[in-house]
């Protein structure tokens, strides 16, 4: 029986740092395993037509929104297309990019149904947040609660914007930063939380990627 491929969901609102995060993934993991990226939902998000120019690392890309000027919600109708793409690309690891408006429960349900359940498994859900905008998002956007609640890993990105006069080492000890951590823990006490600058990937997370391949 063919080994199931690990899939990681990477989600976050526009501007949170998903594109840079995925570029960093390609740079770090590209020489170690073959990577496939699935982009869902929004034509204007992350992997626009110029993304491949940002990296020389080879990877295969499935754009479910190609040819559409409107948001494309991932649905069961896409399952066959995704399965065929994975059959042809034969990746060692998969990253599915989703927007902050994505309904993660619905995505998880689709990934666990045939034919996808026989070719992949969900390794982890990663949520990237912009620390400088999180207070607004957690106050006014219901989806941020749902996404953080579903996360295995939360990356607190762009936290240097909380205080441009202080060093990152000082900021992570500050009241404003720890207030964000408190909000996240209130929503999901079981997730792992990492500070990040420029969507850099913590070594512990990289190790978990490699162990899943």
For residue 52, give both structure tokens.
């491949």
Closest CA to 107 of 67, 64, 140: 64
Closest CA to 181 of 204, 207, 162: 162
For residue 91, give both structure tokens.
């990746």
Q: Distance between CA atoms of 33 and 36, rounded to whole angstroms?
A: 10
Domain annotation for the chain: domains and CATH numbers: 5-212 (3.40.50.300)
CB 197 within 8 Å of CB 168: yes
The pTM of this model reads 0.89
Write out pLDDT tens, residues 173-206: 999 999 999 999 999 999 999 999 999 998 889 9
Please tell me the number of Cα atoms within 13 Å of 126 on its side-chain side: 28
Q: At 103, phi and psi to the nearest 5?
A: -95, 95
Q: How many helical (H) and strand (E) elements, i.e. helices and strands, does the chain have?
A: 8, 7
Write out pLDDT tens, residues 134-169: 888 887 777 888 889 999 999 999 999 999 889 999
> Sorting pLDDT into bands at 50, 70 and 90, what band is 209?
confident
Q: Distance between CA atoms of 89 and 86, rounded to whole angstroms?
A: 5
> Sorting pLDDT into bands at 50, 70 and 90, what band is 52?
low
Going by C-beta distance under 8 Å and a sequence separation of 6 or more, which residues neighbour residue 187? Answer: 138, 145, 148, 149
């Amino acid at each position: 029986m063919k080994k199931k491929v690990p899939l990681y969901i990477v989600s976050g609102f526009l501007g949170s740092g998903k594109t840079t995060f995925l570029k960093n993934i390609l740079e770090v993991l590209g020489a170690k395993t073959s990577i496939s990226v699935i982009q869902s939902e929004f034509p204007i998000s992350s992997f626009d037509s110029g993304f491949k120019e940002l990296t020389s690392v080879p990877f295969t890309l499935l754009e479910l929104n190609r040819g559409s000027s409107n948001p494309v919600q991932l649905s069961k109708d896409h399952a066959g297309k995704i399965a065929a793409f994975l059959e042809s690309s034969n990746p060692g690891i998969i990253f599915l990019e989703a927007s902050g408006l994505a309904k993660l429960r619905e995505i998880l349900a689709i990934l666990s149904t045939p034919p996808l359940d026989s070719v992949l498994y969900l390794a982890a859900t990663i949520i990237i947040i912009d620390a400088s905008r999180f207070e607004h998002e957690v106050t006014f956007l219901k989806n941020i609660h749902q996404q953080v609640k579903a996360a295995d890993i939360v990356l607190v990105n762009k936290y240097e914007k909380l205080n441009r006069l202080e060093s990152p080492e000082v900021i992570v000890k500050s009241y404003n930063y720890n207030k964000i951590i408190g909000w996240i823990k209130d929503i999901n006490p079981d997730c792992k939380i990492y500070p990040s600058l420029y969507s850099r990937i913590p070594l512990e997370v990289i190790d978990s990627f490699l162990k899943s391949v």
